[in-house]
């Protein structure tokens, strides 16, 4: 990365919180049964935590699990191969499962996870993503719940990183550097 960099805010804390409450309300109004929320690590951890808390406020009490999948490693572009680094421990057979992921871009990771859980007998596998980049889809998949449709920027913050940096930011932003100015706005 360049010597001097700044993060330009794309979605701030207030906007993210409001949208998560809306998504939780939509999920609460849907016909889910014996819900298991499966957060896809690592990038979704903040979104998943906030969504689960918002679901609680909306009167739901899902069980929570984690799966750690990777197609990026230290790169900024997906390798195209999805690896299971940590698998779900709970029984999914006959249950509704809500996969929670940070970003739907190529669709490979989400499609892989949906297929995996469906093959294990889930009654239904739904998905919620904080960000969607529709122009990058490599497989045919659509998220059931989308926080925001995101421009084609490499985003960081709110759990998302570049080489394990910037996950702690309470907002979603874009890195600007002296030699590479950021975006013109959304």
Q: Is residue 72 part of a domain?
A: yes
Q: Is residue 70 part of a domain?
A: yes
Q: Tell if the pTM clears 0.95, that is, is over it.
A: no
* DSSP secondary structure letters along 43-74: TTHHHHHHHHHHHHHTT---EEEEEEEES-TT
* Predicted pLDDT at 74: 53
CA distance 17 to 159: 14
Q: Is residue 74 part of a domain?
A: yes
CATH code at 119? 3.40.50.2020
Q: Is residue 28 part of a domain?
A: yes
CA distance 164 to 73: 10
Q: Is residue 158 part of a domain?
A: no
CA distance 36 to 15: 26
pLDDT digits over 73-118, tens only?
A: 555 555 567 888 899 999 999 999 999 999 999 899 899 999 999 9
Range of the domain at 65: 13-151
CA distance 35 to 72: 29
Q: Is residue 52 part of a domain?
A: yes
Q: Is residue 135 part of a domain?
A: yes
Band the pLDDT of 69: cuts 50, 70, 90: confident
Total domain count for the chain? 1
Q: Is residue 114 part of a domain?
A: yes
């Amino acid at each position: 990365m360049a010597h001097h960099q700044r993060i330009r805010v794309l979605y701030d804390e207030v906007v993210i919180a409001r949208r998560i409450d809306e998504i939780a309300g939509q999920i609460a109004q849907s016909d889910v049964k014996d819900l298991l929320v499966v957060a896809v690590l690592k990038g979704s951890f903040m979104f998943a935590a906030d969504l689960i808390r918002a679901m609680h406020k909306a009167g739901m009490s899902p069980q929570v699990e984690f799966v750690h999948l990777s197609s990026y490693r230290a790169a900024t572009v997906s390798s195209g191969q999805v690896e299971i680094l940590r698998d779900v421990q709970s029984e999914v057979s006959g249950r509704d499962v809500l996969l929670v992921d940070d970003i739907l871009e190529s669709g490979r990771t989400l499609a892989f996870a949906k297929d995996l859980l469906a093959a294990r007998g889930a009654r239904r596998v739904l998905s919620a993503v904080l960000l969607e980049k529709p122009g990058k889809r490599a497989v045919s998949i659509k998220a059931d719940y989308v926080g925001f449709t995101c421009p084609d920027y490499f985003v960081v913050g709110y759990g998302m990183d570049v080489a394990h940096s910037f996950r702690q930011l309470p907002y979603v932003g874009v890195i600007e550097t002296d030699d590479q100015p950021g975006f013109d706005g959304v």
